[in-house]
Structure 1
Amino acid sequence: MIHWEGVMPAVTTKFTSEDELDLAMFEKNIRAQVDAGVHGIILGGTLGEASTLANEEKETLIKAALEIVGHKVPVIINIAEQSTKEAIAVAQNAEKLGAKGLMVLPPMRYKATDHETVVYFKAIANSTSLPIMIYNNPVDYKIEVTLDMMEELLECDNIQAIKESTRDITNVIRLKNRFGDRLKVFTGVDTLGLESLVIGADGWVAGLVCAYPAETVAIYELVKAGKINEALDIYRWFMPLLELDISPQLVQNIKLAEVATEIGTEHVRAPRLPLQGKERERVIKVIDDAMKNRPVLPEYKNLKSEV
């Protein structure tokens, strides 16, 4: 069982300079996330460069994450496959390995119809007992999961949450109005994090949390405790960094931020390459400016929620 709430980082995959998995740095980052108070770990998303990972590497990361976190937080596996058959295989293998949940994208590459998308999601849900978060990101993946489609999907008891990344923040309210607590709503856009939480989102699947876990969790906990102004102070500082998440080079950007906070390296897997030239200078300046003004956080753990 997963309590679908809180901050869940979509973690990066750490590589060595020889393009092998860097499990030592992976462990350092995961421990930093857990120590900061995140509520789950999501493996194998876009930030995790999953499309470049071999199946055995994915298994290695799942096993390593499960060993690192123990029973402290759930490990959730992202599914972004090209065929229903492959997606089902990934889901069943994740369950066998001990993962606690799934985050499922619509079919990759093929722009499925609404009906095909619903059938795809249901086939995965019916193949496993793991709880599922649907990832709704029509901006990047060109398929929107509408409210009517979600109504059909909720016929599957284990479809329990949605990562809402339409960029239309009012969709958080629409989802809550229609489905109430039957569907837990997470924002998936870093630059809409605080706003989404204030209007009722249950959680935040975050990106810059990979480099700044404490700041991200602090914003969530302060909002839930009704301390909006304190959360806003951190969020204003955070915004230039959060904007690094809404870029085709978000992986390179966030890995540079992880270097600054000493919980990552900037090694990426080709065809991605480290940032170069003026764009690299721009991103490093954003990070350097933020590090010079990094806020002292209030005590954010064990706050009493007002929600």
Structure 2
Amino acid sequence: MNWYGVFPAVTTKFHPDGSLDMDLFFKNLDFQLDSGVHGIILGGTLGESSALTTEEKITLTRETVKHVNGKVPVILNIAEGATQEALFWAAKAEELGASGLMILPPMRYAADAREVVTYFKTVANATSLPIMIYNNPIDYKTLVTVEMFEELAECENIQAIKESTRDISNVTRMINRFGDRYKILCGVDTLAMEELLMGSCGWVAGLVCAFPKETVTIFNLVQEGKIEEAKKIYRWFLPLLELDIHPKLVQYIKLAEHHCGVGSEHVRAPRLALIGEERERIERVITDGISKRPKL
């Protein structure tokens, strides 16, 4: 598994009646692949995983693996409240041909450090798939500390970290402690270039769903040392990237996909499509960004 590059956390596409829209999903998936992304992540927050049925998740995983056909790795996110459910999805991901897993700490129950470490080790020891730990204490209220990663280092297939603590210095802290033992991927759009400059080797991205070419170009320019060129695109991108750090990031990013012609704004309840002043405000950000889109 090469934990390097831009990994879109793709949205799940729905018809107006709420059923899966696989044709539109594949249209966006092809847009991502044609733009040069390095992997695909299914079933994250943007994928509205908590509102999907087991069969829908299986369908999405199976059909994505088939459609991608080995061009890039397909990663399945696991965000469960029970260890047995996490084990089910780890086994199912392997059965369906996924390339790896992204795993959050236990959901809903506020597990302590011993419980979180045991949870991750239990899943890791039950699968041969490579694993990225999703460390997001802001949204999910559990911090995976440096000391916890010290304990997890014995599991060879725990290989990467989606760094979403929103503390840029944590990239340096982890590198100082572990060297290249863990691959670090930025998980917060508004800090992506900063973390790439500090040593992250990847970007688990949100606005990439609507703007993949710009996202991949920023990543590539940073890798090539063309920092000033990357800054210009990143500064244009920032107002759009800020849509990723709001509780309604799903609605915001889906509206951006709609305006870019690669998605729809249909969401699954309890989420609702945007209306009124909020919709007008977010559309202004999106349409202003599109009108000023840089030439790459």
Q: Give the TM-score range, shorter chain.
A: over 0.9
- The answer to whether 1:111 aligns with 2:110 is yes
Deviation for aligned residue 1:68: 1.5
Deviation for aligned residue 1:113: 0.2
Matches within 5 A, 1:1-307: 2-297=1-296
What amino acid is aligned across from residue 166 of structure 2 in structure 1? R
| Distance of 1:158 and 1:253 partners within structure 2 | 34
What amino acid is aligned across from residue 31 of structure 1 in structure 2? D
Counterpart secondary structure, 1:232: helix
Structure 1's consecutive aligned runs of 4 or more residues displaced over 4 angstroms after TM superposition are none
| Distance of 2:215 and 2:170 partners within structure 1 | 22
Gaps of 5+ in 1: 298-307
Deviation for aligned residue 1:176: 1.1
Deviation for aligned residue 1:180: 1.2
Counterpart secondary structure, 2:81: coil
Count the aligned residue pairs: 296
Deviation for aligned residue 1:177: 1.2
Counterpart secondary structure, 1:151: helix
| Distance of 1:193 and 1:278 partners within structure 2 | 29
| Distance of 2:257 and 2:206 partners within structure 1 | 11
1:300 equivalent in structure 2:
none
Deviation for aligned residue 1:274: 0.4
Gaps of 5+ in 2: none
| Distance of 1:276 and 1:180 partners within structure 2 | 47
Deviation for aligned residue 1:116: 0.3
What amino acid is aligned across from residue 250 of structure 1 in structure 2? L
What amino acid is aligned across from residue 210 of structure 1 in structure 2? C
| Distance of 2:37 and 2:154 partners within structure 1 | 29
What amino acid is aligned across from residue 155 of structure 1 in structure 2? E
Task: Give the alignment's Cα RMSD to 1 decimal.
Answer: 0.5
> Residue deviations 1:158-201, cap 9 Å, x none?
00000010110010111111111110001100000100001110
> Residue deviations 1:244-287, cap 9 Å, x none?
00000000000000011111000000000001111111000000
| Distance of 1:163 and 1:35 partners within structure 2 | 24
| Distance of 1:64 and 1:257 partners within structure 2 | 24
Matched-pair identity in %: 64
1:304 equivalent in structure 2:
none
